[in-house]
Each structure stands twice: as structure tokens, then as C-alpha cells.
Chain A
């Protein structure tokens, strides 16, 4: 017993030392955690409970030139679940939200991983949906309705190629200098004005620093920085003109660009078919996107700026002005048109036997033969020079189509050498002089040309925003005014004289001058009425009005419309009459 007692005492004493030793080790560990690493853990704890919520800034409103709101913001509702929600009746929930059970299941699976954020179950709820869900919310604990702001395109598809749409930012946009404000989840402008003026429109997002519990529930707001709404912009577009123009196409594909010659402002820019930008605001769903992209008519294509067509006869006024200025053409000299020009083994036809024609009648009745001759005297290189000076085959850099704006083609001797390594043939000059062959221009370039002619060679840079002050930067082409007058008289005749090809544009309201054109889709002269729709020629019409003092100049192309005179001219007439009526009303006020 004595032996055991001694052992026990020694044992107990050892235990005491071990206790003290362990105590010291534990205190050292606490010293390490709370003092050496304390501030690190404090930060971790604070970031645990503090969450920064970005408050998206409302985008700026977009107005038309008369102050009509085209694009506004609207609240939108979505149903989501709180993190940590368990045991929802998925079947009943799917029925309530009107969504697919499998899809819902998939989204809820994502929810299991979410710790701080709610998981969106269904976007884009209507007011009625919200009421219905709110009424039954007690059956689904954890289900909440959240609100946010989204874009509201008031006129839907009208002017959609001008306004554009929003989308998730691209990699380049995320790397851009203002990208601090945008997260991969914010929507930024991807097309049209929404893209071009995104920096102005997008505003400065606000921030809310909130304290949350582990379930992500907001407890209190620590800091609140109000989002700043983006600046409003006012377009030069007249939405009434724009929608009437779109209606006048009666479902045909094509493009129209109307410009105010005295300011360079774009009044209307139509590209049909169009799309509804409202489809994009919540992230376009893949089905719709595929449909838009697969559509043979390609509604996402801005035909006014991204498509180049042979100008056809609307090129003739330019050849005429160039010839007069260069002295290769006189108003008196006439040419005998017998329906075809024989050149070597080639034959270049005219659409009609015109007999003796001088410049005026050649324009009015659109005699090809006369312009073959004019072209031969002028030469392709000078023709190309003048075309460029009138804005053809040059980007307008209006910006709404971004880098996708087409330049078009204006051939010259050097151009052909460079492109094909082949010499230029005179026959190609003939064809170019009537706007066929290699020549290809975009509708907006045609409108710029029309505007320049209407304005006697004074060119303003074309703009999409309404300017408060008259633009100063302008260029004046060094061409004698009487040559403009001569050609414009011809264009007046096209619409208003007997035998004129554009008589369909004749208006009792205003004196319109214009020029028809036909862009060949297939070579050869076949009666277009007999061709299948997609093989028919494109119909062009350029016009300006009022004849004496033009305030509007435009270009129309109706794809596969056949003759410019019958398909395109009535649209031009309708747009011009609307515009003149409106500005007449305004000036009489």
C-alpha cells in the first residue's frame, strides 16, 4: 500500500505539471490566433457579415427630336428563393410560377450552393403574376418577389436598328476603361444608340453595404450610395416619321434613310425586317436568339448601313454633275438611243428606245445609252473621285452599327488592278456609269448623296443626335451651282414631267424631286414580273423636297421590289408628305 501511495503522489504531481503545460500551450495558441492573427480574422469576420450590393443605375431616357420618350425604364419583377430554403413543393411551385418543373428543379439545385444570394426562379413576372404569387406565398416559405429596373422600348420594333439593344458585356467591354462600374451581370448597350452612347446612358451604379446573417438576410444598411441615373439623350429621329416609313414598306424588306440636308441630322432610318429590343432586356432566351439568327430575312442586319447594293440609275445624277463640272458633258449635246450600244463584240442595252435624248430627258426617262456615252467621256477614275466626294463608298461613321458598317465599292482603274490584277475595260465604265457592275453603295450613302445634291454640294457630317446649335463643320464641293440646278431640274422632271420614271412620287402637297433606280440581282434583262420574288431586282428611289428649298432628302431601297418607280417611289412620297405636313403644322403655330 505504501508503494502504491508513493506512485500515486508522483503520478498526481506529474498530472499537475501536464495540466499547467497544456494550459500554456493553449494560451500560446490563443495568443497566435487573437493577437498575432487577430486583425486578419477580424477582417474575415467582417466580410462574413458585410455584403456589398450593387445598385444598378437607371439608364438615361432616349427621346426623339420632338421630346417623345422612345426608351424608358420600367420595374420588373422576379420570383426567387432565399438561400437555405428547403422542402418546397416543386410541383405546386412550378404550377404557381407557370414554369417547367425540370427547369425549376435545375435552378433550385443551384440554390443549394448559394449561401448569401437569393436564387432567381422566374424572371419577367407581370403585375398579375405578382398578385397571384403574393396571395399564395405563405405556402412556400422562402419564396420572395424581388424588383429591379429594366429597359422599356416604348415603340417596340420601331427604329430598333437605331436604338439597338442591351446584352451582357463582351470581354472587350469588360476591359474597357469604364468597366469598373460594370459587372458581368449588368446589361450594356450592344447595338445602335444604346451601344454608341452607352457611357452617357449607363449612369453611375450605387452601392449598398449591408449587414447580413449567414442566411444572407439583410439586417441593416451600413452605407448607401445612391445610384445616379444616366443622362438622357435626344435623337434627331422623328418617331412618327419613322413609324410611318416602316408601315409604308407593307412588310417588304428594305431600308430607308431620311436626312435633313441643312443640318445633317438623320430624321428616320429604317431597316426591315426589324426586331423587338424588348426581347433582349432580360437576356434573350436562346430559342428566340436562334430564331432571329436563322431567319433568312436576317432581322438583326441593319440594311441601311450593313448592306451594299448596286445603285443602278440613282447613280446617274452624280455622273451628270461630274460630267458638267469636268466639261465632258453639255446640256445641249444629244445622243441617239436606239435601244442598244454596240461596242466591239459587246452590246450594251437600254431599257427603251428613246431616240434623240439630251441631258434633261436622259435623266427624266433614265436613258442608259446617254450615260454610257457620258461615262465614256468622263472616265472611270473621275467618276470614282466624284462618287467619293458625294459620300459614296465611304463609311458615314454614324456609329450605330459599330464597326460593322459597310464601306461599299467604287471601282477605278487602280482599284481593279489591286483587286483582280487585271486592266480596266471600257465596257466596265459603261456599266459603272449606270450604277451597275462593281459599284455598290449602302442606303445611307445614297441618302447622303441625295442630301448633297439637294443642298447644292454643301455637306454636313451626318448625326443621330439632335443638335441644339447649327452644325459648323461642313464641306462645300467645288461645283458650279448652275450644274446642280440643271441636274435638279432633271430630277424634278423625273417625278413631275410626263414620261418621268418617278411619277408615282408626284405629290399635290409638295414639289418632290427624285430619281428611280434598279439594282440588278441577276444579269440580263428579263421582265421582273416573271421572276421569282428573290430573283427580282431591288428598287431604289432617292428624293428631296421641297424642290425649291429642300428640308428633307432620302433614299429608299425595296429589296426585290422590281422597278424603283413603282415600288420605292410611293414610300418616299409618303415619308416626304408626312414630314412636310408636320413641319408645316409646326411653322404655322
Chain B
């Protein structure tokens, strides 16, 4: 594909603001990964932080590649991408590599790849295309058919892996995007009634079908002190780690709970706890503010987008990033069950970093092309 000639006007409109937030947050993540994984007994620093830096470089390449082309091609290829994504989800169930009791990865030799991560972005694009192709609000039939195609099918494929957290997030993303399109009032009322009536009835079969570790997480969430060395251990340790940061924190590289291995998953799901211990309340509020600015900017981009498709994509991406952020933070501060969801842009992990960079790249793209220039 030949490189497109970029209109000089676009360079003026480039969203430096979002890019700066993206870089500050993700580089803070690298520093925290370094601190969380620094060894105590040996002098050999594990190379997690270098790998993370490498993912960020790759992510930046993705951002610029995404920005080069008009997002219109995404709209054109939306359904194709969606079908490819669904096929990947089915394939990973058949030939994927299992780890930690779940089958989520493709082993590509040099690195492994989690298709459900990339699928997040593909799904949003597909839903946006569908919503923008509909006139008026979602009626009974359009809602039900799109809910099955874009909600239920991916949800079932992903919880089969199993990855309940991601599955639920995608389901919620679909619903949120449908809401942004506007759903007929009576559908909403019916859904509410169904949930209220069927919720208690479905409780038992759902509980029965959960895996033991999933049940444990829920029990641990309800009462973490019941077994502080077992299932409630992560929550309790995370709370201790965050709380011990106090006002200004212990200082960078002075945190103890992560490196001393009291906190599990310290460089992935619980990276914020390590950050909060070292930077305290002040640092935590600063990083929260950066995330808030990023999200608000995303919503603003959705409002300023030049067409419906871009608007839905932007609000979908923003919502998804926010949902990840909220669930992760809720988990580490002990107000939500442990579901194994990383904090976007900070947690260690290649697929997650690249996917989120791609997503933010799309936001930048949309904002950059918000004006009809030609």
C-alpha cells in the first residue's frame, strides 16, 4: 500500500494532547513495572520494563500507522474485520495455548498473542458501523439481532476460554454503544423487568457453572478477611499496599510490598497498588486525573467527530478504556471482585498495550479528521 499524502492541514489538527496523555501514563507504567519487579536478593533486574518499553514503541508505530490512513477504511472493512475476529476467537479455543487455567493465547514463536484483546477494538468498529447504518433508534428487531451478533456470540466465545472479565466488558460495551444510539423505551423497560424477575432464578445455575477460582474470587470479595492467606489474600494485600502509601508515598523504588512478593500479579493487574504505595495519595490523584482527562477528551472527540460512525467508535473506545480502568481500580481498592482485568496503558502485557495504543490511535485519527476539509 503506498503511503498516502497527508494534507498539511491535518498536521495542524493532530491531537498532541491525547498523545501526550498516552505517553505520560504509559511511561509512568514502565517506571512502575521497573520498581515492582526489581529484585531484592539478586542484582539482576528482570527485563519486564524493557519489554514493556518495546511494546510501547510498537504501540507508537501502530498509533502513527493508524493516523496515516483515514479511518474510513475501518468503516469499509468493519464487517470483514469482525468475521476475521470471530474466526480467531474460535481458533484460539481449538489450537490456542493454555496458561493459568485458560486458553487465551496464540503462540507465535517469538511472542504469544491474545486475540480477545485485539477483538475489543474490532468489535467496537463493527458495532459503530452497524449503528451508523441504522436510521432512528434501535427497535425491537434491530436490537435483538445486533445484541445476538455483537453481544452474545463474542461473549460466549470469550467466556469459553474462559475469560469472564473481558466477556462481560464486551457485553457491556455493546449495550453502552446501543444506548448511545438510543433504544426504544419499551425495550429498556422489558429488559429491566426481565432482569429483576429472572435474576434470582438464574443466580443458582450461573453460580454452578462458575469455575472454582471464579467462585473463590466472589467469596473473597464479599469477605476478604475470611482467609487472608488464601482467596482473600490478593485483595487484602492490595489494600495494605495502597493504604501504606499514605499521603506522599514511600517514594519511587522504596515500595516494599511488590518486590517482596507480598503482592501477587504486582506488575500486571496490581500495578496501580505498587504505584500508590510509592507515590501516595498525591500521586494517585495525579494519575487518576490523567486518566480522567484522557476519557473526557475521548468523549469530546466523539462529540466533535464528523460523522456518526466516528462518533460511535470514539465513545465506544472511550467507554471500553474507562470500563477497564474502573474494574481494575475497583478491584485493587477492594470494592469489586478480582476479575483479572489489567489497567489500560500501565499494566505489563504486550497485547494489551498494543491494543490500547491502537484504540487511542483511532481516537487521535478521528479527532484529526474531525473537519470536512475536502
The 8 Å CB contact of A29, one of B41, B277, B335, is B335
Interface size range of chain A in the complex:
35 or more
Which of B98-106, B209-217, B243-251, B338-346 makes up part of the contact surface?
Answer: B243-251
- Residue pair A214, B260 in contact (C-beta under 8 Å): yes
Question: For A215, what are the chain B residues with a Cβ–Cβ distance below 8 Å?
Answer: 261
The 8 Å CB contact of A38, one of B41, B136, B181, B247, is B247
- Residues of A31-48 at the interface with B, using a CB-CB cut-off of 8 Å, are 31, 33-35, 37-42, 44-46, 48
CA distance A40 to B239 in the complex (A): 11
The 8 Å CB contact of B244, one of A12, A23, A38, A115, is A38
The 8 Å CB contact of B242, one of A12, A30, A48, is A30
CA distance A326 to B281 in the complex (A): 96
Given A34-B242, A41-B244, A213-B260, are A19 and B296 neighbors across the interface (CB < 8 Å)? Answer: yes
Which of B17-25, B54-62, B160-168, B284-292 makes up part of the contact surface?
Answer: B284-292
Contact with A along B232-256 (1 / 0, CB 8 A): 0000010111111111000000001
- Residue pair B243, A213 in contact (C-beta under 8 Å): no
Minimum C-beta distance from B82 to chain A (A):
23
- Residues of B96-149 at the interface with A, using a CB-CB cut-off of 8 Å, are 135-137
Which of A2-10, A65-73, A385-393, A470-478 makes up part of the contact surface?
Answer: A2-10
Contact with A along B268-288 (1 / 0, CB 8 A): 000000001100110011001
Contact with A along B301-338 (1 / 0, CB 8 A): 01100001001000100110010001001000101000
The 8 Å CB contact of A34, one of B247, B256, B257, B288, is B247
Question: For A29, what are the chain B residues with a Cβ–Cβ distance below 8 Å?
Answer: 333, 335
CA distance A49 to B181 in the complex (A): 52
Question: For A113, what are the chain B residues with a Cβ–Cβ distance below 8 Å?
Answer: 229
Minimum C-beta distance from A45 to chain B (A):
4
Give the nearest-CB partner of A7 in chain B: B182
Question: For A52, what are the chain B residues with a Cβ–Cβ distance below 8 Å?
Answer: none
- Residue pair B239, A30 in contact (C-beta under 8 Å): no
Question: For B86, what are the chain A residues with a Cβ–Cβ distance below 8 Å?
Answer: none
Count, chain B residues at interface, CB 8 A: 50
Question: For B289, what are the chain A residues with a Cβ–Cβ distance below 8 Å?
Answer: 23
- Residue pair B256, A49 in contact (C-beta under 8 Å): yes
- Residue pair B280, A213 in contact (C-beta under 8 Å): no
Give the nearest-CB partner of A214 in chain B: B261
Question: For B158, what are the chain A residues with a Cβ–Cβ distance below 8 Å?
Answer: none
Question: For A211, what are the chain B residues with a Cβ–Cβ distance below 8 Å?
Answer: 260
Question: For B296, what are the chain A residues with a Cβ–Cβ distance below 8 Å?
Answer: 16, 19-20
- Residue pair A16, B240 in contact (C-beta under 8 Å): no
Minimum C-beta distance from B321 to chain A (A):
11
Question: For A7, what are the chain B residues with a Cβ–Cβ distance below 8 Å?
Answer: 137, 182
- Residue pair B136, A33 in contact (C-beta under 8 Å): no
- Residue pair A38, B243 in contact (C-beta under 8 Å): yes
Given A26-B288, A41-B242, are A9 and B333 neighbors across the interface (CB < 8 Å)? Answer: no
| A178 contacts B by Cβ under 8 Å | no
- Residue pair B246, A42 in contact (C-beta under 8 Å): yes
Question: For B135, what are the chain A residues with a Cβ–Cβ distance below 8 Å?
Answer: 1
Give the nearest-CB partner of B180 in chain A: A11
- Residue pair A40, B243 in contact (C-beta under 8 Å): yes
Question: For A19, what are the chain B residues with a Cβ–Cβ distance below 8 Å?
Answer: 292, 295-296, 299, 322
- Residue pair B244, A44 in contact (C-beta under 8 Å): yes
Starting from the known contacts A4-B136, A27-B288, A34-B243, 13 additional A-B residue pairs (CB-CB under 8 Å) come to A3-B136, A12-B302, A15-B299, A27-B285, A29-B335, A34-B242, A34-B247, A38-B243, A41-B241, A41-B246, A44-B243, A46-B244, A48-B262
- Residue pair A42, B244 in contact (C-beta under 8 Å): yes
Question: For A3, what are the chain B residues with a Cβ–Cβ distance below 8 Å?
Answer: 136
Given A30-B284, A34-B245, are A48 and B276 neighbors across the interface (CB < 8 Å)? Answer: no
- Residue pair B299, A9 in contact (C-beta under 8 Å): no
The 8 Å CB contact of B262, one of A23, A27, A33, A214, is A214
The 8 Å CB contact of B288, one of A11, A23, A41, A213, is A23
For A1, A8, A37, A213, which residue has the most chain B Cβ atoms within 10 angstroms? Answer: A8
Show 13 A/B contacts (Cβ-Cβ < 8 Å), sorted by A.
A4-B137, A11-B182, A19-B295, A20-B296, A30-B242, A34-B246, A41-B242, A42-B243, A42-B246, A49-B257, A49-B262, A213-B259, A217-B41
| A222 contacts B by Cβ under 8 Å | no
The 8 Å CB contact of A213, one of B40, B179, B237, B299, is B40
Question: For B295, what are the chain A residues with a Cβ–Cβ distance below 8 Å?
Answer: 19
| A212 contacts B by Cβ under 8 Å | yes
Minimum C-beta distance from B262 to chain A (A):
5
- Residue pair A4, B247 in contact (C-beta under 8 Å): no
- Residue pair B303, A12 in contact (C-beta under 8 Å): yes
Minimum C-beta distance from A55 to chain B (A):
23
- Residues of A255-286 at the interface with B, using a CB-CB cut-off of 8 Å, are none
- Residue pair A41, B240 in contact (C-beta under 8 Å): yes
Minimum C-beta distance from B344 to chain A (A):
14
| A22 contacts B by Cβ under 8 Å | yes
Contact with B along A499-531 (1 / 0, CB 8 A): 000000000000000000000000000000000
Given A29-B335, A49-B260, are A34 and B239 neighbors across the interface (CB < 8 Å)? Answer: no
- Residue pair A34, B280 in contact (C-beta under 8 Å): yes
Contact with B along A211-229 (1 / 0, CB 8 A): 1111101010000000000
Minimum C-beta distance from A126 to chain B (A):
31
Minimum C-beta distance from B336 to chain A (A):
11
- Residue pair A30, B281 in contact (C-beta under 8 Å): yes
- Residue pair A38, B179 in contact (C-beta under 8 Å): no
Given A35-B247, A45-B244, are A9 and B303 neighbors across the interface (CB < 8 Å)? Answer: yes
CA distance A155 to B285 in the complex (A): 71
Minimum C-beta distance from B72 to chain A (A):
19
- Residue pair B299, A45 in contact (C-beta under 8 Å): no
CA distance A20 to B293 in the complex (A): 10
Question: For A8, what are the chain B residues with a Cβ–Cβ distance below 8 Å?
Answer: 180, 302-303, 308, 311
CA distance A15 to B40 in the complex (A): 44
Given A23-B292, A29-B335, A217-B41, are A44 and B240 neighbors across the interface (CB < 8 Å)? Answer: yes
Given A4-B182, A34-B276, A219-B40, are A45 and B256 neighbors across the interface (CB < 8 Å)? Answer: yes
- Residue pair B260, A41 in contact (C-beta under 8 Å): no
CA distance A19 to B292 in the complex (A): 7
Given A15-B299, A26-B329, A212-B260, are A45 and B246 neighbors across the interface (CB < 8 Å)? Answer: no
Question: For A35, what are the chain B residues with a Cβ–Cβ distance below 8 Å?
Answer: 246-247, 281
- Residue pair A39, B246 in contact (C-beta under 8 Å): yes
- Residue pair A219, B229 in contact (C-beta under 8 Å): no
